[in-house]
Structure 1
Amino acid sequence: MKVLFVVPYPVGKAASQRYRVEQWLPVLDEQSINYKLVPFWDSSTWAILYRKGYTLQKLIGLVTGMLRRLLLLFQLPAYNYIFIHREATPVGPPWFEWLAAEVLRKKLIFDFDDAIWLPDTSENNAAAASLKWQQKTAQTIKWSYKVSAGNNYLKEYALKYNPNAVYLPTVLDTHQKYKTQKEQLTAGVTIGWIGSHSTVPYLKLIEPVLQQLEQNYTFDFIVIADQKPDFKLRSLQFIPWSEQTEIESLLKLNIGVMPLPDTEWAKGKCAFKALQYMALGIPAVVSAVGANTVAMPDGVCGYTCSSTKEWYEKLELLLQYNELQTKLGRNGILWVEQNYSVQAHAHTLLSLFT
């Protein structure tokens, strides 16, 4: 069996692709399944893609990526399955997907982990967003042999267009990468968050809570990201994200947070930050939105919050009681191992190729 992974990003550069595609490759190796990954963006363009300026370089990178996709069509007959993560091209209609499925009659497996059918315009992607094809996700789902959805909200959307949609959560390798337990008996307490420039604005939802907590408690608030946030917090510490130091940085946290607005886009999120915290024995405090309410059992591995008052109360509780941090953290490790690990869902991944 041969599988072609048509992916957006250079290998090792984006969390979505690393956890939805790249971490599954050893499972395919064990089954003697041959595969190849073909990113759209090259490394040099990816390095500047979300930085201001560089318009000409970005345009050259886009055109080059489109040409590579066109040439890739000639290689498709050699593969049994074409696995597309999110989209084959970042702008325009799904011409690659249509040609692969409807003209070349290849078995498409479509994987998505966000509500990518919704417009999601920000300062960083305003120009590109205007070139998006609104019906791309629905059309690709219709043409696909099978669909892999990161949460049940996404699966329900996919089932409108294709009955062969399965729920495959974003999972963690608890035997290799996420195998260290946070030691909660530390001199001070650290609350923290991990994410990217696109989700940093969500932290504004709990900035007033953190400011209020600062008046009554001593703690550090760590942000692990690719850009330093502009927050008015005296406890703020910034750690630049890198794949090499990701686990080391996370283990600095005693408490992990994941605030989300109650929007359709947020409902498409897959609770990944909460899973990262729990897998390392870090209790999570999250917004009671979308997949968070399923992935994070309230009161067992942390807390789900529906109001500013609840955010303050739950964080205060964890700040006051170190033994509670330890108890909830241990519960989280077991929960992720049983329900959100590579080992727990390998059979689901392999079922896509049958």
Structure 2
Amino acid sequence: MANCIDPHQPDIFMKVHVIYEHTHPHEPHSTSHIRLLRPLQHPSIANSFRLSYDTQYRSADVAIVERLWQPQTVSLEKVEALVEQIRRDNTCLIYSLDDNLLDLPKHRPSQKGLTLEQKMTIRYLVREADGVLVSTENLQQRLLGMNANVFVVPNAIDEQLLGKKAAAQPRNPSQKLVLGYMGTYTHDGDMMMVLQALREVLYKHRDTWELQLVGGISESSVLEAFAGMPWQILDVGKHGEYPNFVRWMQQNLHWDLAIAPLENNPFSNCKSDIKFLDYSALGIPCICSNVPAYQNTVRHWETGYLTDNHPDAWVEALDFMMVNHSQRQTIANRAKEYVFSQRTLQHTAWQWRDAIQTIVRNTQTARKNYVKR
């Protein structure tokens, strides 16, 4: 990763405190686990940090503030007070953002909770931070005008959460093949984009395929549009917190094919390929929108199927993958090999260490130069 120190250089031990985004109850969100807690606790960099995390600030060498911190109650005044407290301790302030929340489309349900004050809070934290950690180059470019020290650390899967998966049971000849989709409850627009294609293809293959959904859709009116199709919703139940959810996925997602539709807009174009990583780690081949999130990762017909975002293209992709078992299996095997050889924390956690150490060193240098003046 550009601007980072040599990963083989001896570690610099420091206290790092994560102030993670939370609602009620005060449990870390999935993004907190994926983007901060799992990487910074990974054994491969365990000697670099003494990690603590909470919903409030604690004295440390480095404080990392995540996203909106307190989405339901955050205010610019609260965040200014937090930053002032961190500055009083002469602590290095890092801001972590994994989504382009500044350009969240207005038609999305989650936009209802994103106020002008919340956007001002994001801009304030980006500008005030000694460094910013993001998941994609597009998001880096979006923020560089507000802070010159924006570091890209791509998402990765924590291989420690993926225990040995039980061998698949022989399929009952009368049992349908499964097309799946999972995601947070902010993807109504993405699913509406492929609804026409799904209806057409699932009707055509109604005797042999069914659709299963895990999250992804928040509005009942969108769910109603699936009426008449062979589909069901899988209930995560009490397994919603990320580490438990990964184990639940392994036990319950017996999918033959998955989809990762993503709209082409300034918000989605800053997203990462995490959905592809999740599917591939589970051995599920997937069809992905041909958009920036997947273009630099998915190799068409090798590790996945890239398709343009219009109904005819999605129909063609779904139809092809549904009837070609050998192609699905080949793609699944290659994608899983890619993830476990390149995109797990055992291979990438050092990037987190190096980015944080570089921000700390740059901050120390800047402060020394300021004092000399």
Q: What range is the shorter-chain TM-score in? A: 0.7 to 0.9
Question: Residue deviations 1:266-303, cap 9 Å, x none?
Answer: 11221211111111221110111221212322221111
The unaligned stretches of length 5 or more in structure 1 are 40-68
Q: How does 1:47-196 map to 2 (within 5 A)?
A: 69=56, 72=57, 75=58, 78-90=59-71, 91-93=74-76, 94-96=79-81, 98-100=83-85, 102-121=87-106, 125=110, 128-130=113-115, 132-177=117-162, 180=165, 186=171, 187=173, 188-196=176-184
1:343 alignment counterpart: 346
Conserved? CA contact 2:177–2:210, under 8 Å? yes
Conserved? CA contact 1:109–1:352, under 8 Å? no
CA distance in 1, matches of 2:69, 2:338: 34
SS in 1 for 2:162: coil
Shift of the 30–126 alpha-carbon distance from structure 1 to 2, 3 Å rule, reads closer
Conserved? CA contact 2:16–2:50, under 8 Å? yes
2:229 to 226, 229, 234: 234
**Shift in Å at residue 103 of structure 1?**
4.9
Residues 1:316 and 2:319 are matched in the alignment: yes
Amino-acid identity (%): 17
1:60 alignment counterpart: none
Of 328-337 and 192-201, deviating more is: 192-201
Shift of the 201–220 alpha-carbon distance from structure 1 to 2, 3 Å rule, reads same
Conserved? CA contact 2:288–2:306, under 8 Å? yes
CA distance in 1, matches of 2:101, 2:94: 16
Conserved? CA contact 1:178–1:279, under 8 Å? no
Question: Residue deviations 1:195-216, cap 9 Å, x none?
Answer: 1222244212111111111232
CA distance in 1, matches of 2:324, 2:110: 42
Residues 1:292 and 2:294 are matched in the alignment: yes
Conserved? CA contact 2:48–2:353, under 8 Å? no
Over aligned residues, Cα RMSD in angstroms? 2.7
Shift of the 318–221 alpha-carbon distance from structure 1 to 2, 3 Å rule, reads same
1:246 alignment counterpart: 249
TM-score, normalised relative to structure 1 = 0.80
Aligned residue type for 2:148: P
Conserved? CA contact 1:184–1:322, under 8 Å? no
1:208 alignment counterpart: 196
CA distance in 1, matches of 2:303, 2:170: 17
1:220 alignment counterpart: 210
Q: How many residues align?
A: 318
SS in 1 for 2:16: strand
CA distance in 2, matches of 1:33, 1:319: 47
2:371 alignment counterpart: none
SS in 2 for 1:209: helix
Shift of the 80–246 alpha-carbon distance from structure 1 to 2, 3 Å rule, reads same
2:4 alignment counterpart: none
1:7 alignment counterpart: 20
Aligned residue type for 2:143: A
